[in-house]
Amino acid sequence: MRETITSVGIDIGTSTTQLIFSRLTIENLASSYMVPRIKIVDKEVTYRSRIYFTPLRSQTEIHAEKVKEIIQGEYQAAGMEPKDLKTGAVIITGETARKQNANSVLATLSDMAGDFVVATAGPDLESVLSARGAGADKLSEEHRQAVANIDIGGGTSNIALFRKGSLKGTSCLDIGGRLIKIENGRIHYIYSKILRLAQAHGITIREGDRAEEGTLYRICQIMADQLAMAVHAMEADSLHQELYTNEGKPLTKEPQVQALTYSGGVASCYYNGEPDNVFEYGDIGVLLARAVRNHPVLKQITTYPAAETIRATVVGAGTHTTNVSGSTISYTQGQLPIKNIPVLKLSEEEEQNLALFQETLRRKLQVYKTEGKLEQVAIVFSGRYHTSFAQIQELARAVAEGADEVIAGPHPLILVIENDIAKVLGNALNVLLERRKSFICIDGIFGNDGDYIDIGEPVAQGSVVPVVTKTLIFNT
C-alpha cells in the first residue's frame, strides 16, 4: 500500500505567523503476515507562505480575525482548500500562547482547517518541538554527543537537551528579539524583565528614547550571557533565575552540553548574516544574533548548522500514520475514542532501570502542564525489558508511582507500548489501582516525543483499536 497525502502546518508565534504545505508519501512497511506499520517514506514541501508579523490587538490579545485572514489568503495563494488536506498541525507558541484569547484563536483555526493537531504549546513542549525541527536530536545521535538547541524567538528562548537521540531536559527563558521594540527610530516597548536586567547593569533606557545601536547591543550582550548561563557554560548570576519563563527551572547540569544548534527567527541572522539596517524588523533581534554569535563563551562550544531556523517549530504539518494496535490490549470501557493526545516517550535506557524509569516519567510529565494543570498525555515505551509475570508486576508499580499525578487527576492513564504486553500490564495495573482508575493500555504502536495520537473505538469484537499517530514533519 502506497498513498500520497497533502498536509498543512500553521505556526502562530510571538514574532511571526506562517504556514507550509507538504506532500507526504506513506507506505506499509510490514510484511503480509504482520500488523500494518505505515511510515512516511517521502516528503516534499510544495508551498511555503510568506512570514508575517503575528497581528496583535494589544500586548495581551491576538488579533484573531487578522490571523484568519492571513491563513485564508495563503490557502488561496497555494490553491488549497481544507477539503484537499488529510492532516496538519496548528500550534500557538512562545509569548503568544500566553495571550488571553489564545484558545479561542485555536478553536477558530481548527474549525477552518479541519481535524488537525491543535495545541497551545507550553514553553517546555515548544522546546522539544523546535529542537527536533532544528535536528538537534538527530545530531546528538549521529555524533554521540549531548546537543542542546536554543530556539531564540521573539519572546522566549526555548532550550532542549538531547543525548544520543533521547531528550534529557528542557528550559525556557524570557530572552527574545522582540522584548525591545523599535518604531520610527525610537524605543516603543521594553519588556519588564529586560528593563530590570539593563538597570541592574547600569544601563538606563526608557520607552520613547532614541534607539541607540551601541546601548541596545550592550543589553543584547547581557542577554547572551544569560543564555550561556542557561546551558551551564557560565556561572549563573543573581538575576538569572528571574528570567525563566513562568518561574521555570534551569536545564539539568548532566549530561554536560557538548554542542549547540540555534533555531528561531534570531537564528536566521546568526547563521545567514545581518541585514544592512539592524532595526529592519522593528526590534533587537539582529543585535541579539550578533551578541550570541560573538559571545566569547558560546562561540567556544561546537555549533552545528540547524536543519531549520525560523521554521523549526512547525516546518511541515502532522501526518496521519495509521496503525492497528496489537491484539493483547486492555482498556476501561467508555474511554474511547480520544484524539490529539501528546506523546511522552521514555527511552530504552530509562526503561531498563525501573528507578530511573519512575524518576524520568515523573519529571517529564511536568513538560505537559499548562498553567500548573497536567494535560492528557500518552506514556510510550518499548516494553521489551520486562516480559515475565514478576517483571511486569514491577513495571506496573514503577508506572503507578511515576505517573501518580496522572492517577490522581481527571484523565485516564494512557500507556502505548511497542511490545505485546499491554493486556497483562493493564491487568496488573487494574489490580494494583484496585480498579479505581480508568486506563487505556495498547501495544504494537510506535511514537516519539512531539507526536500526537488518536485512539479510535475498538473493532474486531473489541480485540484491537485503530490508532493514528500524527508525526510533526521537520527537517524538510
Distance CA(170)–CA(181), nearest Å, equals: 27
**CB-CB contact of 157 with 261 (8 Å):** no
Q: What's the confidence (pLDDT) of residue 142?
A: 94
pLDDT of residue 10: 79
Query: Cα(9)–Cα(17) distance, rounded to whole angstroms?
Result: 11
Q: Please report the pLDDT score of residue 320 as a whole number.
A: 29
Say how many residues make up the chain: 476
**Average pLDDT for 302-309:** 88
SS3 268: helix
Taking residues 306-331, what's their average pLDDT?
Answer: 50
The predicted model gives 313-317 an average pLDDT of: 40
Whole-number Å distance between alpha carbons of 160 and 47: 28
Closest CA to 135 of 13, 308, 345: 308
In whole angstroms, what is the distance from residue 361 CA to residue 357 CA? 6
Q: What is the pLDDT of residue 327?
A: 47
* pLDDT band, very low/low/confident/very high, at 324 (cuts 50, 70, 90): very low
Q: What is residue 210's three-state secondary structure?
A: strand
- Using DSSP's 3-state secondary structure scheme, residue 16 falls into strand
Does 97 score more than 80 pLDDT? no
Tens of pLDDT, residue by residue over 405-430, are 999 999 999 998 888 888 889 899 98
Read off the C-alpha cell for 37.
Answer: 506499520
Q: How confident is the model at residue 375 (pLDDT cuts 50, 70, 90)?
A: confident
Q: What is the Cα–Cα distance from 116 to 470, expressed in whole angstroms?
A: 9
Buried-exposed string 51-68: b where 16+ CB fall within 10 A, e elsewhere? bbebbeeeeeebbbeebb
- Percent residues over pLDDT 90 in the chain: 41
Secondary structure of 394-430 as H, E, C letters: HHHHHHHHHCHHHHHCCCCEEEEECCCCHHHHHHHHH
d(CA 336, CA 327): 16
Query: Given this model, what pLDDT does residue 62 score?
Result: 80
pLDDT exceeds cutoff 90 at 289 = yes
> What is the C-alpha to C-alpha distance for residues 121 and 251, in angstroms, rounded to an integer?
18
H and E: helices and strands count for the chain: 13, 25
State the residue for C-alpha cell 474486531: 460
Tell me the angle at which helices 213-230 and 285-293 cross, rounded to the nearest 10 degrees: 60
Q: Report residue 205's pLDDT band, with 50, 70 and 90 as the boundaries.
A: very high
Question: pLDDT of 344-355, one tens digit each?
Answer: 999 988 999 999
Residue of 6 and 242 predicted with greater confidence: 242
390 versus 4: the higher-pLDDT residue is 390
Cβ-proximal residues to 39 (8 Å cutoff; 6+ apart), any chain: 26, 27, 29, 321
More confident residue, 392 or 103: 392
**Mean pLDDT on 156-161:** 92
> pLDDT value at position 418?
83
C-alpha to C-alpha distance for 17 and 183, rounded to whole angstroms: 20
Indicate the pairing of strand 378-381 with strand 413-417.
parallel
Q: Taking residues 224-240, what's their average pLDDT?
A: 96
**Amino acid occupying residue 135:** G
Can you give the pLDDT at residue 362? 93
Give 19-69 pLDDT, tens digit per residue: 888 877 766 666 655 544 545 677 778 888 988 888 887 766 788 888 889
Is the pLDDT reported for residue 233 higher than 90?
yes
CA 303 to chain centre: 21
pLDDT at 317: 31
pTM of the model: 0.68
Helices 192-200 and 213-230, axial angle in degrees (round to 10): 100
CB atoms inside a 10 Å sphere around CB 434 = 7
Q: In this predicted model, what pLDDT tens digit does every residue of 104-128 receive, in sequence order?
A: 676 667 655 555 555 545 556 677 7
- CA dist 428 and 41 (Å) reads 38
